[in-house]
Amino acid sequence: MKSRYKIVLFDLDGTLSNSAEGVKIGIAAALTQMNKPLPDLSDYSQYVGPPLLTTFQRLCGLSEDEAHEAMELYRADYEKRGKFENYLYDGMDSLIAALRNCGSLTAVATSKYEAFAHWVIDYIGLGGFFDAICGSTLDGRRKEKADIIRYACDTLGVEVSKDSVCLVGDTMFDAAGALSAGCDFVGVTYGFGRREQIIRAGGERLAGSVEELYRYLIEGGK
């Protein structure tokens, strides 16, 4: 078997880990502490995937200053409760191991705060499976998915291209970020994004399970 890409980047929430409940809890806790009304949080695709600052401004209606305050409250609650609401999708560890055995570099490219991403990866049992874990910064300088993709590739010393780099993600934000950064993309439909949104954002290949990812990522894979 042979990997199709030199680097395979993985989104975290909804791609590697089922984590939506922890994100929902953190958003609700932050808004409650600020005495702000809670929006409808039943649709995970609205807030699992985009940068947290964007979620607090667009979905929750906060000003930029309020959004930064909400982010701090969210992170405090996530540290206490939300980070434990993470569960590895079945078969993902085997897929990543197969990619590495085929010669690919593997990395995480997430809009989650980078320190939390490191903790989650260890918690779900994927410590040691990645050559880099790349996430957002506290000050918001690096938060968009395209910027994080470029940062991950810079970290690994590889130029972004559709032939050598692929992002695996579950939302329209992942698809749009891959298109903007100039890498290839495979969308997964078992996460929190919606199929039609991923397609509208430029996602052309979709996998409904971890097993289907083998077909896209590894030549001769199952």
As annotated, the active-site residues are 11
DSSP state of 141: S
Distance CA(208)–CA(91), nearest Å, equals 13
Instruction: Name the one residue in this structure whose structure tokens are 């909804």.
Output: 14
Whole-Å CA distances, 184 to 25, 42, 149: 33, 30, 11
Residue 91: count other Cβ atoms within 10 Å of its Cβ: 13
**Strands 132-136, 105-113: parallel, antiparallel or unpaired by DSSP?**
parallel
Structure tokens at 125: 């049992």
